[in-house]
Structure 1
Amino acid sequence: MSILPNILNKSVSFTRTFARSIAYKSAISLSNLYPQSSLKLTTVEKPIFEEGVDFNGVVPMDQLDITYSRSSGPGGQNVNKVNTKVDVRFHLESANWLSDKVKSKVLEKYHSKLTKEGNLVFRSDLTRSQQLNLADCLQKIRKCIRESLYVKPEPSPETEEKIRRNAEKANRERLAFKRERGLVKRLRQGLDY
């Protein structure tokens, strides 16, 4: 009779250990790092437009036209079965999440990438995961907008002078090399100079 309680105690202890191992979460799991997040790709309820900032990085998912298709290239049967390639497009003129200034800058820089309908198209088949390719497309959109807003700083007078001196030195060396090469060719022809 003393064996039965011993077996029951072991089974209860096994059950507790098993339950603990299932419930374990790492300190760096997504639910611990972002406790308020549902961990789904969705649009922010109300895009936050900060004063003085042209673009804060928020791209509303509901205003993008997202299509999936099969990727090309190696990947085995996964390529033939799963739609992992992502095409993300949005109409630039009707994008109300961009200010008019941002729209004009993007249009100025990327006018050759616009379709006839006025859509900007971004594609990604970088990985074999739909979500990672979608994230890559969103990153491309952010990069496109930030690059169009970037203003190259004016060089200082010292830098301009250094550039001018380097260009003059390069021209002198180029002309000296040409004279030397021309002299070698004239000497091969037997002309005395």
Structure 2
Amino acid sequence: MISRSLLCLRITPSILRSFSTSQTHQNFKSGISLDKLYSSPLQSTDVKPTIPSNETAFGGYIPLDEVDISYMRSSGPGGQHVNKVNTKVDVRFLLKDAKWLPESMKENIMKKHSHMVTPSGYIIVRSDKTRTQQLNLADALDKLRAQLYSTVERPPVRPDHYTIEVHRRRAEKATRERLREKRIKSDVRQFRGAQ
């Protein structure tokens, strides 16, 4: 009965198959489809990241638009490559104009870490560790970040009770061992004198 009705409509089984598969293709979404990979709308690359405003501590964020980055020819081994390509990176910024550093940190750098600052007020970091600009830039920014973190004054950490007890027991053991060695040496000297 069904086959006769299909003949009336002049629909062949191949048309039926293509119709049924086209509907499943419309509903099917792959696990790696763009809708699933990027569920939120893509952000524009022109948007500047917001600088974290932390007035009390340096968070590690260095805004690239507020530091001067220059490239120059590196020195050292490398043959012709070193003489042709500007891979050495020079990162510098004027300390007093750095809005992304807390004022307390700037004052601390000027007072206790003045060796980091040039007479003109710049902090300069250079890197020619690798043969590529990007890796040298990353290395220079890491060096700068490490220098800035080293200027942060941390309050002294008091040892916990367990650590204090461990040190006390070690000192007692060392004292016992020293006294035992003294007693042995004293006995040896007495034994020599008795003979």
TM-score > 0.5 by shorter chain: yes
- Aligned partner of 1:126 among 112, 124, 129: 129
Any idea what the Cα deviations from partners look like across 1:88-147, whole Å, max 9, x if unmatched?
Answer: 111222212111122234445533222222222211111111122112111222222233
* 1:49 aligns to 2:53 (yes or no): yes
Task: Tell which structure's C-alpha radius of gyration is larger.
Answer: 2
Where has structure 1 moved over 4 Å in runs of 4 or more?
167-173
Cα distance in 2 between the residues matched to 1:108 and 1:163: 36
Match of 2:65 among 62, 65, 86: 62
Of 145, 152, 157, the residue aligned with 1:153 is 157
> Could you state the TM-score of these two structures normalised by the residue count of structure 1?
0.58
Q: Counterpart of 1:6?
A: none
Q: Distance in 2 between matches of 1:142 and 1:133?
A: 14
Q: Which runs of 5+ in 2 are unaligned?
A: 1-31, 186-192
Aligned-partner Cα distance in 2 for 1:171–1:72: 56
Which residue among 19, 43, 55 is the counterpart of 1:36?
Answer: 43
8 Å CA contact 1:106, 1:144 repeated in 2: no
The RMSD of aligned alpha carbons is: 3.8
Native 8 Å contact 1:44 1:60 kept in 2: no
SS at match of 1:67: strand
1:94 corresponding residue in structure 2? 97
* Residue segments in structure 1 that go unaligned for 5+ positions in a row: 1-25, 184-191
Work out the CA distance in 1 between the residues paired with 2:170 and 2:111: 32
Partner of 1:104: 107
- 1:84 Cα deviation after fit: 0.6
Cα distance change on mapping 1:167 and 1:117 into 2, 3 Å: farther
Contact 2:56/2:104 (8 A) holds in 1: no
1:153 aligned partner, one-letter code: V
Question: How far is the alpha carbon of 1:164 from its aligned partner?
Answer: 4.9
d(CA) in 2 for partners of 1:116, 1:79: 31
Q: Specify whether residues 156 and 69 from structure 1 end up closer, same or farther in structure 2 by C-alpha distance, changes over 3 A only.
A: same
* DSSP-derived class of the 1:93 partner: helix
User: How many pairs were matched up?
Assistant: 149
Give the TM-score normalised by the residue count of structure 2. 0.57
